């Protein structure tokens, strides 16, 4: 008998308790920078050294953290379910925890790509500097989806969400589009669990929605135990 399909959508709150700083603070700054300075093609064209160093700091930080109990619990779900994780996060903590099918909507910190050929992608864990080039001499850039750029994995993520027998949403405000649109692709009858310490949607907003006002570290393991015993 085939395993039931669970689709998990995760955002910054999933990784926050591993010690990774969340995307931006309430005044829109990211580590003291205007987001558009460090996360847009225009920012990169204007000051590539600033942008490269910004992501070097993120990459160094990622090398120092480990998956939390929430990541580990999601990986454990694969024992009994067919699980796909669709994440807005650019870290690899889901993979480190053992999740085997992870779709990264916004790119990956441990990868870089050519500034000319976006399909030329390399694994990369060290600092990236000006002068690091592809085989044709073109500068490399972070493999991150910046503001104003297409989200190439969005269609794949939508197709996966359409197959959900159960949808779990963790640590995301569901305010950042296009990722926030994915909830609308879930089948009508699929139960939806929304785990966030400060949930901004109500149970009445969607059919079959259960809101769990907890952090990922507390909410995810408890839900996994519940799903295992049901």
Q: Which one from 71, 104, 106, 143 is the annotated catalytic residue?
A: 106
Instruction: Give the span between the Cα atoms of 55 and 43, in whole angstroms.
Output: 13
Residue 191 tokens read as: 């139960």
b/e 88-108 (16+ beta carbons within 10 angstroms → b): bbbbbbbbbbebeebbbbbbb
Instruction: Give the span between the Cα atoms of 103 and 46, in whole angstroms.
Output: 30
Active-site annotation holds for 101: no
CB atoms within 10 A of CB 35: 16
* Helix, strand, coil % over all residues of the chain, rounded to 5: 35, 20, 45
Element (H, E) at 112: strand 107-114
Comparing CA positions, the residue from 164, 228, 196 lying closest to residue 7 is 164
Residue 151, preceding peptide bond in cis (omega within 30° of 0): no
Instruction: Give the span between the Cα atoms of 188 and 162, in whole angstroms.
Output: 10
Active site (catalytic) residues: 106
């Amino acid at each position: 008998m085939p395993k039931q399909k669970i689709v998990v959508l995760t955002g910054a709150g999933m990784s926050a308790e591993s010690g990774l700083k969340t995307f931006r603070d309430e005044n829109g700054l990211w580590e003291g920078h205007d987001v558009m300075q460090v996360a847009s093609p225009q920012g990169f064209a204007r000051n590539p050294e600033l942008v490269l160093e910004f992501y070097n700091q993120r990459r160094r930080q990622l090398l120092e953290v480990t998956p939390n109990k929430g990541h580990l619990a999601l990986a454990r779900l694969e024992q009994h379910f067919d699980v796909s994780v669709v994440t807005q996060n650019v870290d690899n903590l889901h993979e480190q925890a053992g999740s085997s099918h992870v779709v990264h909507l916004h790119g990956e910190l441990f990868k870089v790509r050519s500034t000319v050929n976006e399909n030329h992608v390399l694994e990369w864990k060290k600092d990236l500097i000006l002068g690091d080039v592809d085989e044709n001499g073109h500068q490399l850039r972070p493999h991150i989806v910046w503001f104003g750029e297409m989200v190439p994995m969005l269609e794949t993520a939508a197709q996966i969400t359409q197959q959900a027998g159960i949808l779990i949403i963790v640590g995301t405000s569901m305010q950042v589009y296009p990722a926030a649109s994915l909830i609308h692709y879930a089948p009508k009858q699929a139960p939806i669990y929304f785990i966030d310490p400060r949930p901004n949607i109500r149970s009445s907003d969607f059919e079959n929605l259960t809101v769990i006002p907890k952090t990922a570290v507390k909410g995810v393991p408890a839900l996994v135990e519940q799903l295992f015993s049901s």
